[in-house]
Amino acid sequence: MSHAAGRQSIFITGAASGMGRETARLFREQGWFIGAFDVNQAGLDALQAELGADNCVIQTLDVSDKAQFDAAVATFGAATDGRMDILFNNAGIIMRGYFDEMSFEDQLKIINVNVIGVMNGTHSALPLLKETPNALCFNTSSSSATMGMPLIAVYSASKHAVKGLTEAWSNEFKRFDIRCADALPGLIRTGMTSDEFLAKAPTKGPFRLIEAVEVAKVVWASYHNERKLHWYIPEELAELDKAASNDPELLRDKLARNMEL
């Protein structure tokens, strides 16, 4: 089994592709030890081949299963002498459609992965985070956490929950010297985004298409910024939060005019 051998370490969920994969690559380039976890075994195998077996530990993980998360953290802790510098709760799923036309089971699956998965991960990882000075719990929220978004209602609600948990934990975990922050990305090129949807993406403005590596850069920046709570990608998406607070009805009506699948 590979061993961190004193290197700083990051535990990444949803690591087999997209933002998680780019984060693993970036942190490996910086000399960190990587814990890569995902439901996609083939993707994890490919990532391990790229990073080098001595530089990472991989394991399949359904984040909605608490027992699986406990086992993944145990595997990671065995490789890092019980330390974890960053927990990156990144795994998530999205399904688009009208609330009344989507199956209730699919919508529960969104909650179980996007919300319960983040709760599972943080609860399981806390013993390791507590043992690591200046540890960071970093969560992937979404620009859809600024205002409830039509056609992704449950996904949007799940990311509101992640944002709220991050804000609450950022105060609660101070007593353990653990920091919390989140990313609120707009439109990111990942496997979760359909080619049809990408084809409609604007070329400029806050919802222009952003490469997944930009999220990885934010995770790195957050570890080195002890104060910043919310990281908007791109930064001008912060204006959505202000708009939602200042005039929610106006933003609601604007979203209604732009609503399309």
The CATH number given to whatever domain includes residue 38 is 3.40.50.720
Match 């890569």 to its residue by tokens: 36
Match 């992937």 to its residue by tokens: 140
119 located within any domain: yes
pLDDT of residue 187: 83
Distance (Å, whole) CA 256 – CA 85: 42
4 located within any domain: no
Could you tell me the residue range of the domain that residue 135 belongs to? 9-257
pLDDT of residue 261: 37
pLDDT along the chain (261 residues), means of 10: 88 97 98 98 98 98 98 98 98 96 98 98 98 98 94 97 98 98 86 59 70 94 96 90 91 80 37
155 as an active site residue: the answer is yes
Instruction: Give the CA distances from residue 232 to residues 158, 185, 207, in Å, rounded to whole numbers and listed in that order.
Output: 17, 6, 11
180 located within any domain: yes
Q: What is the pTM of this model?
A: 0.93
Number of domains in the chain: 1
98, 155, 223, 232: the catalytic one is 155
